[in-house]
């Protein structure tokens, strides 16, 4: 028998409107943006119905909650538009990973430096991981020196996002450009 897996759905923020608002008093803002003050919810609902609009709870955590008299459809549309705008403004980057060994040759390290340069110029962060095996784990201080020397060979201005961390399998560090260039 096959198991069915359900994708977890994100909980949408439920906006309470009209009769769903069960608080005694609310701070009301009308459709023009003017503050009508703290009014009983029933009176605010009657004002909204007179104007053929909805009473929408904007800030439920405020004391008393803030409600606005507006068309609910227009309010939903403007909120979605704000969310899309915020999402577009977010900085998009990836975390790229580079692995090097304790005894990696100099030519291989030069190749890794070129890869790191390419990733950093594209605006990504880079996690450099040095894998340690067997007795190499007992010489983590040497591995840390080698990793620091490797980072110094990168010709770009870089910033250490976080300091060198010890992992069960070695050491790792995350770096990014000092001032990222947009392309």
Residues 67 and 100 both lie in one domain: no
Give which of 61, 51, 58, 55 is closest to 41, Cα–Cα.
55
Q: Is residue 123, in this structure, part of any structural domain at all?
A: yes
| Rounded distance between C-alpha atoms, residue 172 and residue 160, angstroms | 11
Q: What is the pLDDT of residues 57-99, one digit of tens each?
A: 888 888 888 999 999 889 889 989 998 888 887 777 788 899 9
Who has greater pLDDT, 179 or 148?
Answer: 148
CATH of residue 132's domain is 3.30.110.10
Q: Is residue 175 scored above 80 in pLDDT?
A: yes
pLDDT at 27: 92
Structural domain count, the chain: 2
More confident residue, 9 or 109: 109
32-37 contact pairs (CB < 8 A, 24+):
none
Burial of 70 (0-12, 13-18, 19+ CB in 10 A): buried
Percent of the chain predicted with pLDDT > 70: 91
Domain-ending residue, one of 76, 103, 120? 76
Extract the tokens encoding 142: 């040497």
Residue 167 neighbours by CB under 8 Å, 6+ apart: 129
Position 5 pLDDT exceeds 80? no
CA 174 to the chain's CA centroid: 18
Domain of 55, CATH number, reads: 3.10.20.80
DSSP codes of every residue in the chain: -PPP--PPPPPPPPPPBGGG---SEEEEE-TTS-EEEEEEHHHHHHHHHHTT-EEEEEETTSSSPEEEEE-HHHHHHHHHHHHHHHHHHSPP--EEEEEEETT--HHHHHHHHHHHHHHHHTT-EEEEEEE--GGGGGGHHHHHHHHHHHHHT--S-EEEEEEEEEETTEEEEEEEESSPPP-
The residues near 44 (Cβ < 8 Å, ≥ 6 apart) are 26, 28, 36, 55, 67, 69
pLDDT attached to residue 127: 92
Answer yes or no: is 90 within a domain.
no
pLDDT for 8 beyond 70: no
Summarize pLDDT for 13-66 with one digit per residue, the tens. Answer: 678 888 888 888 999 998 888 888 899 989 989 998 998 998 898 888 888 889
Question: 70 and 99: one domain?
Answer: no
What does pLDDT average to over the chain? 85
pLDDT, residue 111, reads 93
**pLDDT at residue 159, rounded to an integer:** 86
Q: Are residues 57 and 112 in the same domain?
A: no
Q: Give the pLDDT mean for 136-144.
A: 86
Which residues span the domain enclosing 114?
Answer: 95-177
Looking at residues 115-133, what average pLDDT do you find? 90
């Amino acid at each position: 028998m096959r198991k069915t897996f359900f994708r977890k759905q994100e909980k949408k923020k439920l906006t309470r409107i009209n009769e769903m608002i069960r608080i005694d008093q609310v701070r009301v803002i009308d459709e023009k943006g003017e503050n009508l003050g703290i009014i009983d919810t029933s009176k605010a609902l009657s004002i909204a119905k007179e104007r053929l609009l909805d009473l929408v709870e904007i800030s439920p955590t405020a004391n008393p909650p803030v409600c606005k008299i507006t068309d609910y459809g227009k309010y939903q549309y403007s909120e979605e538009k704000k969310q899309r705008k915020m999402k577009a403004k977010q900085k998009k980057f990836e975390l790229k990973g580079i692995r090097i060994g304790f005894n990696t040759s100099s030519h291989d390290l030069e190749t890794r430096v070129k890869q790191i340069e390419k990733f950093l110029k594209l605006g990504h962060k880079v996690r450099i991981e040095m894998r340690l095996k067997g007795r190499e784990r007992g010489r983590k201080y040497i591995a840390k020196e080698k990793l620091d020397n490797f980072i110094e060979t990168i010709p770009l201005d870089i910033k250490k996002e976080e300091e060198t961390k010890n992992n069960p399998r070695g050491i790792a560090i995350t770096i990014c450009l000092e001032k990222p260039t947009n392309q």
